[in-house]
């Protein structure tokens, strides 16, 4: 009888230990699952937050056309108040090239544009960011450097957002050397942001390199009917696209060159790069 009683008590103790062990395991499992769920929720929440932040960064505002103007667009024909309301930025020609030897309607004999001061001052008065450009047409390294110096000295007091080299024709046997001499001279004088305007066909035809420029501006017109037709068919990492020479905007009675920021990039960042302070 005593043996039976001892056996019975032992069974009860073993059952109790098993029950307590099962409860402990269940509690640990529940805690582990709860912790994993919490961690998963935190990870998902963090990922969602990052995605929202990226979407916010990529959300573009709508930009108006960017125009490029020179002395051929007479200030007397421009209503700067109205035109400024229809653009996001302006690129003003300051120098017409070292090949200039005679004065004309738009240019002085020394190559400086006749209207650059007026254009820059009027746009800046109306808080339109202004970049500047020079038509590159020198035939020697010395001429390239001289034109760069003239371009910089005429422009720098206006604190342009960018200095652009407009390269459209071959004026030296080695245009790469000439263009680099111009760019390097500008840089040595203090220009920090220097870009190149050049056609993709011209790059291929003359094996030009654009690596040392911090921005690229290319012309491709499509139908050239005053409207944007399509993105350029190129692998070039461009920033600005001149899409027509026949654009019409309120504030000027004639055709204008119209440009837009690259559709391949986040436009807000590109605009800040090209026209930010």
Q: Could you report the per-residue pLDDT of 92-122, keeping only the tens digit for each?
A: 999 999 888 899 999 999 999 999 999 999 9
Q: Taking residues 189-206, what's their average pLDDT?
A: 96
pLDDT at 57: 52
CB 153 within 8 A of CB 124: no
Strand partners, 163: 132, 194
The token pair that represents 13 in the structure block: 């103790």
Average pLDDT over every residue of 74-97: 98
Tokens 């056309």 -> residue: 65
What is the b/e burial string over 220-251, where b = at least 16 CB atoms within 10 angstroms of the residue's CB? beeeeeeebeeebebeeebbbbbbbeebebeb
User: Using alpha carbons only, what angle is made at residue 168 by residues 167 and 174, rounded to the nearest 5 degrees?
Assistant: 70
273: left (phi over 0), alpha (psi -120 to 50) or beta: alpha
Q: Looking at residue 8, what is its pLDDT?
A: 38
Highest mean pLDDT among 5-19, 90-104, 166-180: 166-180
pLDDT in tens, 136-166: 999 999 999 999 999 999 999 999 999 999 9
Give yes or no for residue 42 having a pLDDT over 70. no
Which residue is associated with the tokens 């760069």? 148
- Taking only the tens place, the pLDDT of each residue in 16-26 is 443 444 443 44
Mean residue pLDDT of the chain comes to 84
37 has pLDDT over 60: no
CATH code of the region 66-275: 3.20.20.80
How high is the pLDDT of residue 14?
35
State what percent of residues in the chain have pLDDT above 90: 74
Q: What is the pLDDT of residue 61?
A: 84
Q: Residue 89: enclosing H or E segment and its boundaries?
A: strand 89-95
Q: Three-class SS string for 128-149?
A: CCEEEEEECCCCCHHHHHHHHH
pLDDT at 277: 79
Can you tell me which residue has the tokens 């436009």?
Answer: 267
Q: What percent of the chain has a predicted confidence (pLDDT) above 70?
A: 78
User: Does the pLDDT at position 38 exceed 80?
Assistant: no
**Does the pLDDT value for residue 59 go beyond 70?**
no
Confidence bin at 4 (pLDDT 50/70/90):
very low
Query: In the numeric block, which tokens belong to residue 197?
Result: 């305007």
- Condensed to tens digits (0 to 9), the pLDDT of residues 124-138 reads 999 999 999 999 999
- Report the distance separating Cα 239 and Cα 216, nearest Å: 5
Mean pLDDT of 57-81: 90
Give CA separation, 207 vs 132, 144, 170, 173, 200, in Å. 25, 19, 11, 12, 10
CA atoms of 246 and 267, how far apart (whole Å)? 23
pLDDT in tens, 254-269: 999 999 999 999 999 9
């Amino acid at each position: 009888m005593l043996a039976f009683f001892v056996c019975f008590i032992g069974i009860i103790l073993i059952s109790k230990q098993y029950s307590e062990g099962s409860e402990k395991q269940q509690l640990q499992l529940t805690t582990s699952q709860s912790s994993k769920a919490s961690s998963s929720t935190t990870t998902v929440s963090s990922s969602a937050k990052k995605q929202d932040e990226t979407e916010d960064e990529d959300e573009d505002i709508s930009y108006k056309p960017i125009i490029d103007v020179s002395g051929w667009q007479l200030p007397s024909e421009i209503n700067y108040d109205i035109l400024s309301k229809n653009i996001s930025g302006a690129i003003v020609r300051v120098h017409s090239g070292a090949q200039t030897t005679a004065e004309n309607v738009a240019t002085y004999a020394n190559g400086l544009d006749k209207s650059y001061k007026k254009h820059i001052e009027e746009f800046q008065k109306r808080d339109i960011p202004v970049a500047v450009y020079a038509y590159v047409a020198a035939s020697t390294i010395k001429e390239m450097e001289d034109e760069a110096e003239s371009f910089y000295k005429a422009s720098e007091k206006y604190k342009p957002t960018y200095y652009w080299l407009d390269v459209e024709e071959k004026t030296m046997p080695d245009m790469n050397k000439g263009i680099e001499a111009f760019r390097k001279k500008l840089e040595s004088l203090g220009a920090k942001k220097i870009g190149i305007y050049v056609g993709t066909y011209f790059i291929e035809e003359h094996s030009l390199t654009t690596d040392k420029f911090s921005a690229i501006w290319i012309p491709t017109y499509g139908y050239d009917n005053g409207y944007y037709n399509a993105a350029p068919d190129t692998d070039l990492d461009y920033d600005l696209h001149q899409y027509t020479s026949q654009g019409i905007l309120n504030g000027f009675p004639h055709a204008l060159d119209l440009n837009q920021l690259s559709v391949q990039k986040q436009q807000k960042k590109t605009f800040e790069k090209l026209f930010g302070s």
